[in-house]
Chains A and B, each alone.
Chain A
Amino acid sequence: MTHNEILKNDVLRYKKNSLPANLALLGLVFGALYFCILYGFKEPTDANNETSWFATILIGASVILTLVMLLTNFLASEGIKSYKKNYCIVLLILAAIQIARIFIYPVSYVLQHTAEGEFVLSYFWIRTNNSVFPGIMMIVWLCASAACLIASAVIGYINCTKLENHLKSIESGEIDIDALFEEEKKQMEAGENKAVNTQPEKEVE
């Protein structure tokens, strides 16, 4: 391992695992965009397209699931920020749920609504009536969310492993950071001395 490689790992000791944490948060944002569309147009209707108490309960359950997902996503982002490896698994599970969600409602919606409808502007979204557009957008957001969560989990895992190995190396005495800095300092001083010695001598009048 070169000095730079060791130092790159050493930086992890003092820096938060920001990139995976931010990716996880981005995943959360995409998830939020998904349910903005979902609750923006979905009427609490049952299979016969009629409003019923059962459909309302399903919507309630969906809202609760979304809230739990958001909370878990946020906690996982905080966990991965402080190099807790287990949260990578949580992130992967969340990603799997997001992927599964694609097949629960948006895909069936796209298959059912093939006729084109008019576009209507709503507060959060360009809403369409009788169009496949919202279904496609839900799929896009869910895919984006899942991708961010998977990336977060993978990068987070890599960083956690790097830091873990680095700390082990320090503990075992395999790597001595102080000695490394000392060596660099000496090399730098030697370089400066060399530069001074190789300067052409001034002519004495």
Chain B
Amino acid sequence: MPEVNIQHIDKIYDGGVQAVWDFNLDIHDGEFIVLVGPSGCGKSTTLRMVAGLEDITKGELIIDGKNCTRLPPKDRDIAMVFQNYALYGHMTIYENMAFSLTLRKEDKLVIHRKVMAAAEILDLKTQLNKKPKQLSGGQRQRVAIGRAIVRNPKVFLFDEPLSNLDAKLRGSMRRELMLLHKKLNATIMYVTHDQTEALTLADRIVCMSMGHIQQIGKPIELYEKPANTFVATFIGLPPMNLFDGKIENGHFVGELFNYPLNAEQKEVLADYEGKEVILGVRPENFTRDGHIKFTVTNNENLGMNTLVHGKVEGKKIAVCKFAEWCNYKYGDVIEVGFQEENMHFFEKDPEGRHEYQKVIK
């Protein structure tokens, strides 16, 4: 039985604005689900609906077989960790972590055991007598997580917990969260707009945009087989390069270049002969042995690889990522091609929005 079952949930605010459309997802026991998407896509609203902080307009929420759609937050047996930590400044770390259990009037020794166990997991034992203001951002976030752990909830909800931290700390906290998930084997719903967090933490990613789910899948699936151009450009850094064109006589004929298709691509795109399509190529799938002219505008050496920004045939801005150390200068013209097995083709529906074109291959 899935631990959390979200069935066709909608969220319509009082003014009539619909923030979430038909959100449908089964989260399995011990699964780490990451909701990812740009700001305003409805991911936090969905999380808050699961937490009970927002009413569910339509649909049902079932947690461990129990219908929680109309239950108040305290009866849902979930714990939420917020971006701003939400710690009580006048309490010590110990008291902050013990607070929810104290409210439940649990035995002092039980509280002590749980708090000490959580502090051990989160490496906070030496900080227990301090006040939140004496801790760093990362430590405060760990306290917030500890406060959730002591409750031993069925589901953990994280609402962009690392967004307030600097890049280095975010990296270390990310690794700690992964370890924590392994230690606790907890069911986690995690909201972020950072695709790196999503790709590294998730068992499955739910990619959202404009209140709709765009794709649900394992990180590698979203990366290698994006469902539409939105997912293709949102997941991956730098984003996938998209080129408009047509399929004509076994070639991708774009405004800027023609590219011959291999036998497999021809077969898949047989129905699209003469039709407009979008070609997507990830920066790392460019090769330096093609026939497309690429005018370099910027060369960024990142140590392990080089990001080369430029214009395809002098017009379309694109980014290539080469595994080698490159030393191109502004204005250099190089000839590039694509790794055939990693070319993505998307339908081009003239009536549809450009960013939501469905994948063909």
Contacts and interface: CB of A to CB of B under 8 A. Distances in A.
B109 A4 contact: yes
B34 interface: no
A8 B92 CA distance: 18
A125 interface: no
Contact of A7 (B92, B112, B129): B112
DSSP class of B's interface residues: helix, strand, loop or mixed?
Answer: helix
Interface stretch (A11-19, A21-29, A116-124): A11-19
Nearest to B94: A14
A185 B117 CA distance: 10
Given A14-B92, A14-B128, A15-B94, A181 B116 contact: yes
A164 interface: no
A134 B303 CA distance: 87
B325 to A, nearest CB: 49
Contacts of A185: 117
A13 B129 contact: yes
B113 interface: yes
A184 interface: yes
Contact of B109 (A8, A13, A178): A8
B70 interface: no
A23 B76 CA distance: 38
Given A14-B128, A14-B129, A7 B113 contact: yes
Contacts of B129: 13-14
A177 B115 CA distance: 13
Contact of A11 (B92, B108, B117, B120): B108
A197 B299 CA distance: 64
A15 B128 CA distance: 10
Interface residues of B, number: 13
B238 to A, nearest CB: 47
Interface in A1-59: 4, 7-8, 10-11, 13-15
A144 B94 CA distance: 34
B134 to A, nearest CB: 15
Interface string B17-35: 0000000000000000000
Nearest to A178: B120
A8 B111 CA distance: 11
A14 B94 CA distance: 6
A140 B311 CA distance: 91
Contacts of A7: 109, 112-113
A10 to B, nearest CB: 7
A7 to B, nearest CB: 5
Contacts of B109: 4, 7-8, 11
Interface in B179-226: none
Contacts of A4: 109
Interface in A179-196: 181, 184-185
B113 A184 contact: yes
Of B94, B95, B109, B115, chain A has the most CB atoms within 10 Å of the CB of: B109
Contacts of B116: 177, 181
Contact of B120 (A8, A10, A13, A181): A181
A7 B129 CA distance: 16
Contacts of A184: 113
B149 to A, nearest CB: 15
16 contacts: A7-B109, A8-B108, A8-B109, A11-B112, A13-B129, A14-B92, A14-B94, A14-B95, A14-B112, A14-B115, A14-B128, A177-B116, A181-B113, A181-B116, A181-B117, A185-B117
Given A11-B108, A11-B112, A14-B128, 8 more contacts: A7-B109, A8-B108, A13-B129, A14-B92, A14-B94, A14-B115, A177-B116, A181-B113
Interface of B: 92, 94-95, 108-109, 112-113, 115-117, 120, 128-129
